[in-house]
Amino acid sequence: MTTELKPYEVYAIRYAENPRLAGQNFIGGDPHNGPMPHDYFVWVIVGNGRTWLVDTGFDADMAVRRERPRLRCPSEGLALLGISVADIKDVIITHMHYDHAGNEELFAGATFHLQDAEMSFATSRHMCHSIMSHAYECEDVVAMVRRLYRGKLQFHECTEELAPGLSVHHIGGHTQGLQAVRVWTRRGWVVLASDAAHFYANMVESRPFPIVHNVANMMEGFRTLRRLASSPEHIIPGHDPLVMKKYPAPRADLEGIVVRLDVEPRPSFA
Ligand SMILES: [Zn+2]
């Protein structure tokens, strides 16, 4: 059936960065513990007459408060692709951590797509423990509840198709309700893992990231990502700077800002 599907274009927009050490990115640390920075992304899926934003990033105040250097507002990245925030009618929220679910007011008119399990986790007794709550922002969670009562939130459970060739898949692990996004492209099924795999290394080396709700589900999630994608090369991790190196910019002036994920990796990575 997939041959009848029209392929989507998929972009990663890099909006912030954070210098970190490798030891902070793996349970049990890292014996070498050299620099292993995080990139922060939102992703855009364009095709079949619709534009889908995946995650909304964080705003300038949050960048200062959490000491994460912000490079640009995600809306500026969208504008570079000729997309205005008003064009965004649907937003898939992979999970509600501060770096994925901020900038609420920018996308107030859009319908957000979220797993039931993520809303229930973010408002559950588990948030009594700072180790579980520290990556959430109360204001983002409250905004999501307000959105629900405005009729702008659509819940999904486990696997659901949002449009032909575009589906969400509950993974859990990192947070209880984390979902990945599977999208049909001209190179096959691409899977936006978001934080189901922060780095390629978490997945390839089976070394899980230390911010985690359930380690067993995180490990199982790596298998699910492989099952959903056309190949391991079709899985896009959530914070790995290698993504910017591996995939080509859609235009020369977007180098270092936006890469295109629906096309083959640059020749040096093929
Ligand atoms: Zn994240």
Per residue in 199-220, pLDDT (tens digit) is 999 999 999 999 999 999 999 9
We report the CATH number of the domain holding residue 185 as 3.60.15.10
Centre of ligand 1 from the C-alpha of residue 230, in Å:
24
- Cβ–Cβ < 8 Å for 147, 77: no
How many angstroms is it from 4 CA to the middle of ligand 1?
A: 34
- Is the CB of residue 170 less than 8 Å from the CB of residue 132? no
Radius of gyration of the chain (CA): 17
Which residues surround the ion ligand 1 when the cut-off is CB under 5 Å?
99, 195
Residue 18's DSSP bridge partners are 38
Q: What is the DSSP letter of 92?
A: E
pLDDT digits (tens, 9 = 90+) for 158-173: 999 999 999 999 999 9
Using CA atoms, how far residue 115 sits from 121, 181, 215, 247, in Å, is 10, 12, 19, 29
Domain that holds residue 57: 2-269
Q: How far apart are CA 222 and CA 198, in angstroms?
A: 11
pLDDT digit string, tens, across residues 124-140: 999 999 999 999 999 99
Q: How many A from CA of 121 to the centre of ligand 1?
A: 16
Residue 59 CA to ligand 1 center (angstroms) comes to: 14
pLDDT of res. 268: 86
Task: Give the count of domains, the chain.
Answer: 1
CA of 175 to the centre of ligand 1 (A): 10
Sheet hosting strand 159-163, strand order edge to edge? 159-163, 166-170, 179-185, 188-194, 235-237
